[in-house]
Chains A and B, each alone.
Chain A
Amino acid sequence: MKKISLVALIEAAFFAVIAVVLDLLPAITIAPAVTISFSMVPIFILAFRWGFRVSLISGFLWGILQLVTGDFYFLSVLQFLIEYFIAFAFIGFAGLFHPIIQKSLQKGKKLSVSVWVVVAIFVGSLARYFWHFVAGVIFWGDYAPEGTSPVMYSLIVNGLAMLGAAVLCSIVLVILISASNRLIMKKGNSSLTTQ
């Protein structure tokens, strides 16, 4: 297993912080009580820049930073582990598309870059919200309105949040990348790797 370069580690730390900071900005409210946030954007950028492992670590770190910033809900130990350690790290699954995106980027195929970026974002969001859904069924079931089953309730709440976040992140990222593709393009910084 190749060691992750120091620059990648530092970028992962910075981008986890940016995710936390973006979370604090006023969120975009579509309808009352439905807010979506684009705070996953930094993790996705990292996923397309460095690949699966770096984005996994960065997501994981973002989860830990949520604890330090006091932005968390605690119901039980397991819920906590699922929603803050596993779920956030799973955003990193977007990084599985790193090779194909980099390849399209080098060939200069703009359309296929955008398509794969959107696919990757949906996979990453799905991977994250799947865990929120699981936690929702098991631990937040008591909070479901009467007459709704916990499964339905969790599916609707997390499904909406997922769709909103994925769509918003896709729009933002496609605009970002077409405006400046050096955000995800890696220069030859092999000289900076630690062995």
Chain B
Amino acid sequence: MMEKMIIGRYVPADSMLHRMDPRSKLILVFLFVCVIFLANNSWTYAILVIYTLVMAGFSKIPARFLIGGLKPVLWLVIFTFFLHLFLTKEGEVILDLGLFKIYEEGLRQGIFISLRFFLLILITSLLTLTTTPIEITDGLERLLGPLKKVKFPVHELALMMSIALRFIPTLMQETDKIMKAQTARGVEYSSGPIKERLKAIVPLLIPLFISSFKRAEELAVAMEARGYRGGEGRTKYRQLSWSKVDTGMLLFLMAVTALLVVFRG
């Protein structure tokens, strides 16, 4: 199951992107997601592709990791491409297949939209490949800090987020273990009639839920025994520090944005 996840894929390395502050990386990804919609012709898309490749270069992550992360969504990119290819009916006909006609505009749209999709996924996976989940949570907590003023439970959410991330592998293993135990007793999970499979869910869920309740209670006791009292006045072991590289990267993206505005048609 674990191979389906992006989170387990943090690749430790000593690169510029790894050393950046998680806050600046989060801001960069957010801005990129907004900026990408500025692109509307070949020049602007070329700029975005170059930017993404430069960032991938900075990360020093071997290409096979990057491509490996893209595999699960590749079919969706391809699907998007064909959808726009066949369903757009504008511009001149460039290929007549009898049943389907491929229009110029369809080809353009297909390439642009699937490319946009591809770049978005590449940039977000660069974030998760170079930043540990804990760093992302810390960064988010600090960035969303101002929302505390409107009673938004930022600290609580950040705490739950780190607990959730920490326990994804544990609970997955637990599920796997229970499923194996029940399979050994003759329960079938992946085949059989619907009624049988519904019945199979119950002996999986009850032990899973009960053990989670127990684990939650133990964790709460352990935290309170160590003096956890919510976010007020809590100090951090990991300190975030904003460096020149972070400012530089933000300026770089702004320059790219300026180029996009100039070249967009």
Contact = CB atoms under 8 A, between A and B. Distances in A.
A4 B220 CA distance: 13
Contact of B217 (A57, A76, A192): A192
Nearest to B9: A70
A13 B160 CA distance: 5
Contact of B160 (A61, A142, A180): A61
Nearest to B229: A194
Contacts of B220: 5-7, 10, 192
B1 A24 contact: yes
Interface in A157-195: 168, 171-172, 175-176, 179-180, 182-183, 189, 192, 194
Nearest to B4: A24
B202 A179 contact: yes
A57 to B, nearest CB: 7
B198 A172 contact: yes
Interface residues of B, dominant DSSP? helix
A42 interface: yes
Given A7-B220, A69-B5, A21 B172 contact: yes
Contacts of B69: 70
A13 B158 CA distance: 10
A183 B202 CA distance: 12
A45 interface: yes
Contacts of A68: 5-7, 128, 133, 165
A21 B159 CA distance: 20
A142 B198 CA distance: 35
A21 B223 contact: no
Interface residues of B, number: 60
B197 to A, nearest CB: 6
A172 B205 CA distance: 9
A123 B213 CA distance: 25
Interface string B1-31: 1001111000000000000000000000000
B36 to A, nearest CB: 10
B34 A77 contact: yes
A57 B156 CA distance: 10
B216 A11 contact: yes
Contacts of A61: 157, 160-161, 164
Contact of B223 (A6, A14, A57, A60): A6
Interface string B208-247: 1110110111011101100011100000000000000000
21 contacts: A4-B156, A6-B223, A10-B216, A14-B167, A15-B212, A16-B164, A18-B208, A20-B168, A28-B197, A45-B209, A61-B157, A68-B7, A68-B128, A70-B73, A168-B198, A175-B202, A176-B202, A180-B210, A192-B220, A194-B228, A194-B230
Given A14-B163, A68-B128, A176-B205, 13 more contacts: A1-B151, A5-B220, A10-B160, A11-B212, A13-B164, A14-B212, A41-B205, A68-B6, A70-B69, A77-B33, A77-B34, A176-B202, A180-B206
